[in-house]
Structure 1
Amino acid sequence: MITINDIAKEAKVSAGTVDRVIHKRGGVSKKTEAKIKSIIAKHDFQINAIASSLALNKRVQIAVLIPDYDAENTFWKSPMMGILKAKEEVKKIGASVSYFSFNQFDEASYVRQFKEVIAAKPDALLLAPLFGSATKVLAKELDNKEIPYVFLNINLEGCNNLSFIGQDSYMSGFLAGKLMRLSINDKSAIAVMQTRANLDNNHAIYKRIKGFEDYFKANKDTVSLLNINIADLENAAALAEKLEAMLVENPKIEGVYVPNSRVSSFANVINSSKISELVLIGFDGTEENVSCLENEKVAFLISQQPFKEAYEAIKLMVDFLVDQKTLEERIYSPIEILTKENAQFSKHSK
């Protein structure tokens, strides 16, 4: 992205002269003004963003609150990379981005970091409202302090967020139901894996399961859905034992639905002879999940574009703060179906 100093250097004038042209303050010869405008047009220079930022005479401060990622939970790496890219770009127009993260399995961690954000007094906040009940309480503090906020990835209802950017969780679950039904036999059973104790408090997962269940209800299907609660995904041996017992006790199971980004954790511990008889469907094109897709342990992944979502969110928030541009209430990203054949073309991390 070109800056005022870059334009001044190319036009062989001072930055102040470029600023005069941008603000139409006069005092610049017509020849020089024409030269500067030509350079601005050539580089598609964003006049409004720069001009408004200079006029405000302040730095725009955006806070970001999203989950940590680790070797086992890699989904949030892509949004973080998108945020970092946007951070480098928007700092050239006087905007700064502060990053706060929390343990996605620890509500206390989320609340603690949320309060740190509020104490920092940002001009706006981009957050993933992973814990619904806590978010609704803390969002009231944002409202009282007139801090605008945008939801990323999770479309939590009942708050005064400016916008939501991400996938339609309900429809992605509904689509997963359709894919599953096309892949299994009549009167068979599907194991719906629930890995969070308080499902209602985790809005995206809840919506994915609701959409999945509603597909079968809408079609008055003969397939049975079995809700299976899994407390620990980190102990592979214990998970393998639980899944083996589940399949022995429920021989009609032909499908396994994992409504989060950890389908690989299930696929990698199911007996190799048994997994060929099952249809596994999960979410997100993480490296681990795509590997299982390519090795035919997973049939389908419902994916999105988390890098692009986070990147665009920061840019849109800067537009809102600097240019007072109105944000759409909901900005949905495409619902991608990944298979072994097309996984290499996914934009999950791009």
Structure 2
Amino acid sequence: MITIKDIAKKANVSEGTVDRVIHNRGGVSKKTKAKVKEILAFYNFRVNPVASALAMKNKHFIAALIPEHNDSDLFWKSPYLGILKGANDVRRFGVQVNNFTFNQYDPDSYLKTFFSLLETKPTAVIMVPNFLKETKIIVSKLEALDIPYLFLNINIDGFNNKAFVGQDSYMAGYIAGKLMNLSVPKPSSFLIIQARHNIIKNNSISNRIKGFNEYLLKNRISSKTQTLQIDNLNDSLNTKEKINTYLKDHPEVEGIFVPSSRIYIVVNCIEASYLKNIKFIGFDNTPQNIECLKNDSVSFLISQKPFEQGYESVRLMTNCLTLKKDYLNNKIHLPIDILTKENVDYNERNEIVFESEVQKNNS
């Protein structure tokens, strides 16, 4: 008997696309829909009524609360796509996943979006705990309603989240320290550039910095670290002036570590005379960062596999709901990838293939 998987393979689309066509859910281009329907008709495909009834009986709604992405900050596009891929794969189990996005710099947007999410009466929530005060409000509401929740990308201790899916940020920073020491082996001075909003809210950033410093300390490296705080990296004029003035006053700096996904902004602000004499290490394979890696402005990027983070969070929460698996307070750490100009094109192939498929289906 032919399956949805067989139909998807013959139509060169995802199983989720075939499922949407079968159940007339929309989100598929007319051309793709016609192609899938033609194959369904050719093989006289019929939905298994028992399996369909079982899926409807066990209907679950997972809501994902994550930061929005835009052209200047594309990091959150990857977990978003990972969640979409997960949503396609778990729909057959009677699980529906909806994304709710908020402004990552605005705690009011975070809270307001959560209450909009809550109106949809979710069975479970996947969330990025972006602000501590507001996260306490959100979690207290979820626990009062007995709604299980999972932390994605950013972890905060002291909560009863089912699990955390993301990077071991301390170890990632530790590896960054090792890479910097290998890049500049003689005793030197390394500058850590941090946006002020990250100092306030992002536990992952502080853990990376801790790991970076402790690598040098534990291995008795003579190099020293300095920290430069930038109020707003998006304010390019002030950022450029502040960084270049600092480098002028501190000519001993031979390495710069940016513990966030914004290293491309730092690189673009630095004058060429400083740029050629400094080694740069940052995080995340956003298109802007990859460009800096390929033109040798950045020596290494450390990837936290954000697409897999999104996908894995949906898979885990689905298992929790449908198989009654308990992952309470488990930390699911994704591999820490070290990216260079030579290997970056081979990274995140699953995301590239899936995004291409989404674009094709919507064309």
Shared topology, TM-score over 0.5? yes
Deviation per CA, 1:166-205: give whole Å up to 9, x if none.
Answer: 1111110111011111212544211111103462531111
Residue 123 of structure 1: how far off its partner (Å): 0.4
Alignment of 1:105-184 (within 5 A): 105-184=105-184
Residue 222 of structure 1: CA displacement? 2.1
Query: 3-state SS of the aligned residue for 1:156?
Result: coil
Indicate which of 48, 60, 76 corresponds to 1:15.
Answer: 48
Deviation of 1:85 (Å):
2.2
State the distance in 1 between where 2:47 and 2:119 align.
40
* Aligned match of 2:70: 70
Deviates more, 1:287-296 or 1:79-88: 79-88
Give the TM-score taking structure 1 as reference length. Answer: 0.83
| Aligned twin of 2:86 | 86
In structure 2, distance between residues paired with 1:126 and 1:15: 30
The aligned residue for residue 15 of structure 2 is none
Residue type of the partner of 1:106?
A: D
| SS across alignment from 1:98 | strand
The correspondence of residues 325-336 of structure 1 with structure 2, limited to 5 A, is 325-327=325-327, 329-336=330-337
**Shift in Å, 1:309:** 1.8
On the 8 A contact 1:103/1:110 being kept in 2, the answer is yes
| TM-fit CA distance, 1:311 | 1.6
After superposition, the C-alpha distances for 1:256-308 in whole angstroms (9 at most, x for unaligned) are: 11000000111112122321110111000111101100000001101022112
Matches of 2:173 and 2:133 in 1, distance apart? Answer: 22
Give 1:249 shift.
Answer: 0.8
Which AA in structure 2 matches 1:164? F
Equivalent runs, 1:243-262 vs 2, <5 Å: 243-262=243-262
Q: Deviations over 1:205-250 (max 9, x none)?
A: 1111111122122223322211101012223232222111011111
CA distance in 2 between counterparts of 1:173 and 1:13 reads 52
Q: Which has the larger radius of gyration?
A: 1
Structure 1 residue 115: Cα displacement: 2.6
1:15 counterpart letter in structure 2: N
In 2, distance between residues paired with 1:200 and 1:274?
29
Q: CA deviation at 1:10?
A: 6.7
| Match in the other structure for 1:264 | 264
Say which SS state the counterpart of residue 264 (structure 2) adopts: helix
DSSP 3-state at the match of 1:85? helix
Structure 2 vs 1, CA of residues 94 and 271 (structure 1 numbering), >3 Å: closer, same or farther? same
**Alignment of 1:290 onto 2:290:** yes
Contact 1:172-1:211 within 8 A present in 2 as well: yes
Name the % identity: 38
- Give the AA of the match of 2:279: V
Distance 1:158 1:183 in 2: 38
SS at match of 2:296: coil
Q: Distance in 1 between matches of 2:229 and 2:149?
A: 33
Report the AA paired with residue 70 of structure 1. N
Q: Distance in 1 between matches of 2:171 and 2:322?
A: 34
Unaligned ranges ≥5, structure 2: 6-18, 24-38, 353-363
- Residue 224, structure 1, aligned to residue 224, structure 2: yes
1: distance between equivalents of 2:45 and 2:155? 49
Aligned AA for 1:147?
I
Conserved 8 A contact 1:189-1:255:
yes
Quote the Cα distance in structure 2 between the aligned partners of 1:273 and 1:131: 38
Task: State yes or no: 1:312 paired with 2:312.
Answer: yes
Question: Cα distance, 1:100 vs. partner?
Answer: 0.9
Q: Which residue of 1 aligns with 2:240?
A: 240
Cα RMSD (Å) of the superposition?
A: 2.6
How many pairs were matched up? 317
Change (3 A) 1:91 1:12: closer
Task: Tell me, yes or no, if structure 1 residue 53 matches structure 2 residue 55.
Answer: yes
Offset of residue 111 of structure 1:
1.7
Hey, what's the Cα distance between the residues in 1 that align with 2:322 and 2:224? 53
- Which segments of 5 or more consecutive residues in structure 1 lack a partner in the other structure? 23-49
Deviation (angstroms), 1:138: 2.2
SS in 2 for 1:320: helix
